[in-house]
């Protein structure tokens, strides 16, 4: 009985001491001096945009193996029960290019061989951009079950969608190289710089897809609007014609289109065979940096609310 009274007295004394200590401090069990706890350090609302971006990238790095697994599963599911399977990723752009070459080479009175490669160098990046945006914009809505069960960074699913389309794009580029050799178009050494252009376009597609994926959570009809907008923008990108064919007073409409600079970069490296100057590299880099910053800033502002909107 005396032991219980002594324990009660010690507990009461400890409670009285804690009431005299500031709210942000605590007492160690052995009776040592209190330790300050800075709860503001854990307040994510005061986290800077740069800090949030670094933390998000670190989280994505920790689940890189899951990213590879998701991408492989997406590719398998896309071509499941298909006779030709993954070969369709090569045949689709080839067949589209063949139709465009047959029609527009006669219309523009151009050599079908060189014109086919010219169309292909513009059509492949365009297809990569549109497919990434379409699948990426729906990635968060379609991954609702995952997001509500376990914690996964919100940027993970747009990254999976864009990475899947990147795999298709890389194989399509390989088919382009083979086609160019078959028709007699000589490839220049500048093709070794194509991976840098692919990496730049990958970041741009990821940024745009992340922004649109967040917007689609709040406005589900955006998916249908994106389809209409992309079909319209196609005619504002010189894919089946050159920019020199456009009247000079209307060229500003094409120069204001950010997609134009990425396609122009691929065309210079593959079709023209020249190293783009600093300006032709700097503009896509600046566009990518701005969109990537805007994407993570948008995600930071909506991170806590997205799960309740799904």
pLDDT score for 83: 62
109 part of a folded domain? yes
Q: Is the residue at 203 inside a domain?
A: yes
Is residue 96 within 8 A of residue 234, CB to CB? The reply is no
Domain membership of residue 186 (yes or no) is: yes
At 35 the three-state DSSP class reads strand
pLDDT for position 253: 85
Number of domains within the chain: 1
Rounded Cα distance between 32 and 11, Å, is: 15
Residue among 302, 309, 129, 303 nearest 207 (CA): 129
pLDDT tens digits, the chain, 310 residues: what are they? 444 434 444 444 433 444 444 444 444 444 444 444 443 444 445 677 788 888 888 888 888 888 999 998 888 887 776 666 666 667 777 777 777 777 777 777 677 777 777 888 888 899 999 999 999 999 999 998 888 888 889 999 999 999 999 988 988 887 777 777 776 667 788 889 999 999 999 999 999 999 999 999 999 889 899 999 998 898 888 888 888 888 888 888 888 899 999 999 999 998 888 889 999 999 999 999 999 999 999 999 998 888 888 7
| pLDDT for position 23 | 44
For the question of whether the overall pTM of this predicted structure is more than 0.75, the answer is: yes
Q: What is the pLDDT of residue 29?
A: 45
37 inside domain? no
Residues in CB range of 254: below 8 A, 6 or more apart: 236, 237, 238, 243, 246, 260
For residue 12, tell me if it sits in a domain: no
Can you give the residue range of the structural domain that contains 74? 49-309
The reply to whether 23 falls in a domain is: no
CA dihedral over 222, 228, 231, 234, signed as positive or negative? negative
> Does 7 map to a domain?
no
Is residue 111 included in any domain, yes or no? yes
Give the Å distances, CA to CA, from 243 to 91, 221, 236, 274: 28, 33, 10, 17
Per-residue confidence (pLDDT) for residue 188, from 0 to 100: 81
């Amino acid at each position: 009985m005396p032991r219980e009274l002594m324990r009660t007295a010690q507990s009461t004394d400890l409670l009285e001491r804690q009431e005299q200590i500031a709210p942000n401090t605590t007492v160690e069990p052995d009776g040592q001096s209190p330790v300050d706890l800075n709860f503001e350090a854990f307040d994510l609302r005061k986290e800077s945009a740069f800090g949030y971006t670094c933390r998000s990238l670190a989280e994505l790095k920790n689940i890189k193996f899951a990213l590879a697994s998701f991408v492989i599963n997406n590719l398998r599911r896309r071509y499941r029960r298909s006779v030709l399977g993954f070969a369709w990723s090569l045949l689709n752009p080839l067949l589209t290019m063949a139709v465009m070459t047959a029609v527009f080479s006669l219309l523009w009175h151009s050599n079908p061989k060189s014109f086919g490669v010219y169309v292909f160098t513009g059509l492949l990046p365009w297809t990569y951009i549109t497919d990434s945006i379409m699948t990426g914009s729906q990635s968060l809505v379609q991954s609702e079950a995952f997001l509500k069960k376990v914690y996964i960074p919100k940027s993970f699913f747009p990254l999976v969608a864009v990475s899947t389309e990147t795999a298709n794009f890389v194989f399509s580029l390989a088919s382009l190289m083979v086609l160019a050799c078959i028709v007699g178009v000589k490839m220049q050494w500048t093709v070794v710089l194509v991976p840098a252009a692919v990496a730049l376009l990958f970041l741009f597609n990821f940024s745009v897809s992340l922004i649109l994926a967040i917007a689609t959570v709040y406005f589900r009809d955006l998916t249908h609007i994106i389809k209409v907008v992309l079909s319209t923008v196609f005619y504002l990108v010189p894919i089946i014609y050159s920019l020199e064919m456009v009247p000079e007073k209307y060229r500003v409409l094409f120069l204001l289109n950010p997609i134009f600079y990425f396609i122009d970069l691929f065309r210079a490296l593959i079709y023209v065979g020249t190293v783009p100057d600093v300006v032709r590299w700097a503009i896509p880099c600046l566009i990518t940096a701005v969109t990537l910053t805007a994407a993570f800033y948008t995600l930071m502002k909506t991170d806590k609310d997205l799960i309740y909107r799904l």
